[in-house]
Amino acid sequence: MTVFDTGDEALDAQDSPRTSVRLADDRELIYFDDEPGHDRSAPDRRPLPPRRPRSELRLDPVMGEWVVMAAHRQDRTHLPAQSECPLCPSADGRHSEIPAADYHVATFENRFPSLGGPPAGGRCEVVCFTSDHDSSFSLLPDRRLETVARAWTDRTAELNRRPDTEYVFVFENRGVEIGTTLHHPHGQIYAYPFVPARTARALEMARGHRAEQGSCLFCSIVAAERAAERVVARSDRFVAFVPAAARWPYEVHIYPYRHVTGLPELEPDERFELMVLYRDVLRRFDRLFDAPAPYIAHFQQAPARTDPGLAHLSIRVFTPRRAEGKLKYLAASESGAGAFISDILPEDAARRLREAR
């Protein structure tokens, strides 16, 4: 098990600038820089047509869950060659989604959004962690971790203020095995106009626990897991563990010890500490197998308006790879019945991740 001492490494967010510009079709792009002094005024010279998101929401009357219809995404960019990557900086006459010749972190409205427009509402943003096409989140240096955390926090706070936002979902994926369509290191942020079903169910459980026990469900889980054999790594203020009822072969949850409901409630040094622990977990995933692990990671935060005090910030990350050359697929039990069957005991998964140093 690794114990981190971040000391004075956390950096003051006020020293790092934020620059908002507009792309050729009037989408917003925001540069978050590691340090001041960078010119981000390069214009977007592409002749882009007007952007008209055509998503709509439909309610499943049986499950009571919202489904997003976004048929226009069938034509989105799919696994382009590096020379055509839309997330690399613009250079040598080739214009991408990022007009600058280089950048640190950039967020922008998705050109092919799942949400947005009058029928559906909401907003979808892309978050690029680095201009290096061949890098990954697990390879980011400390300074960049702070910048990414600041960008995620900024966007969470701003999107939560939108009148059509009910829930901000920050996530990142890697690997064609889980459906990524761009290789460049990036994540996304969805500002849903509804509270997604899984989050709503978790809040329902938390509401029942508070009514019965008078305490936070998630704080109780953290208190129990801190002493369990499923802990993978910890820092002064955060713990990473494999949950007792893990659904995926290798699944890790990262929680703060104190009760905070989202990224905006963390101090800058806490955000940095969380990013260091998250990076460590991703590196452990990569050391499990001969090839880098595909994964999905997301933040659980409070809804914009619905019982925000019930939520407890966490990062959830999992890989569908269960063994070398083998993936866990969602078969009939998972996809049809919603009952997960795990191929690996959580205690064994935690032990392997602890040893992957």
Half-sphere exposure of residue 352: CA atoms within 13 angstroms, side-chain side: 18
Maximum Cα interatomic distance, the chain, rounded to a whole number of Å:
63
How many CA atoms does the CB half-sphere of 280 hold within 13 Å?
26
Contact present, 320 and 328 (Cβ < 8 Å): yes
Query: What distance in Å separates the CA atoms of residue 185 and residue 155, rounded to the nearest whole number?
Result: 18
313 close to 262: Cβ distance less than 8 angstroms:
yes
* Distance from C-alpha of 117 to C-alpha of 170, rounded to nearest angstrom: 20
Alpha helices by DSSP H, listed for 42-141, are 117-120
38 is in an annotated binding site: no
Q: Consult the annotation and say whether 216 binds a ligand.
A: no
Question: Which residue from 290, 353, 285 is spatially nearest to 319, judged by alpha carbons?
Answer: 285
Q: 2-3 and 231-234 as β-strands: parallel, antiparallel, unpaired?
A: parallel
What is the model's pLDDT at position 207? 96
C-alpha distances out from residue 183 to 93, 96, 102, 132, 281, Å:
22, 15, 18, 11, 20
Annotated catalytic residue, options 186, 209, 253, 298: 186
pLDDT at residue 243, as a whole number: 97
Beta bridge mates, 188: 126, 171
Residue 95 catalytic? no
Quote the DSSP letter at residue 205.
H
Both tokens of 199, joined, read: 């989050």
| Helices (H) then strands (E): counts for the chain | 6, 16
- What are the residues whose beta carbons fall under 8 Å from the beta carbon of 106, sequence distance 6 or more? 29, 30, 31, 32, 98, 100, 127, 128
Q: Which fold has domain 198-355?
A: HIT family, subunit A (3.30.428)
**For residues 243 and 224, is the Cβ–Cβ distance under 8 A?**
no
Give the gyration radius of the chain's Cα atoms: 20
Judged by DSSP in three states, 132 sits in coil
Spatial separation of the C-alpha atoms in residues 292 and 177, rounded to whole Å: 11
Tokens of 106: 């950039």
DSSP H helices, the chain, are 117-120, 142-160, 197-213, 217-225, 268-288, 346-355
Pair 246, 342: CB distance under 8 Å: yes
Report the Cα 25 to chain-centroid distance in Å: 26
> What span, in angstroms and rounded, lies between the C-alpha atoms of 165 and 302?
12
Task: Read off the amino acid at residue 2.
Answer: T
pLDDT score, position 16: 62
CATH 3.30.428.10 in the chain, residue ranges: 2-195, 198-355
pLDDT, one tens digit for every residue, the chain (357 residues): 444 444 433 344 445 699 999 999 999 999 999 999 999 999 999 999 988 888 999 999 999 999 999 998 998 899 999 999 999 999 988 999 999 999 999 999 999 999 998 888 999 999 999 999 999 999 999 999 999 999 999 999 999 999 999 999 999 999 999 999 999 999 999 999 999 999 999 999 999 999 999 999 999 999 999 988 999 999 999 999 999 999 999 999 999 999 999 999 999 999 999 999 999 999 999 999 999 999 999 999 999 998 889 999 999 999 999 999 999 999 999 999 999 999 999 999 999 999 998
Fold of 2-195: HIT family, subunit A (3.30.428)
259 is in an annotated binding site: no
- Three-class DSSP category at 153: helix
* Residue that the structure tokens 């510009």 belong to: 21
Contacts 24+ apart (CB under 8 A), 9-18: 9/142, 9/272, 10/146, 10/268, 10/269, 10/271, 10/272, 10/273, 11/143, 11/146, 11/268, 11/272, 12/268, 13/146, 13/150, 13/268, 16/146, 16/147, 16/150, 18/154
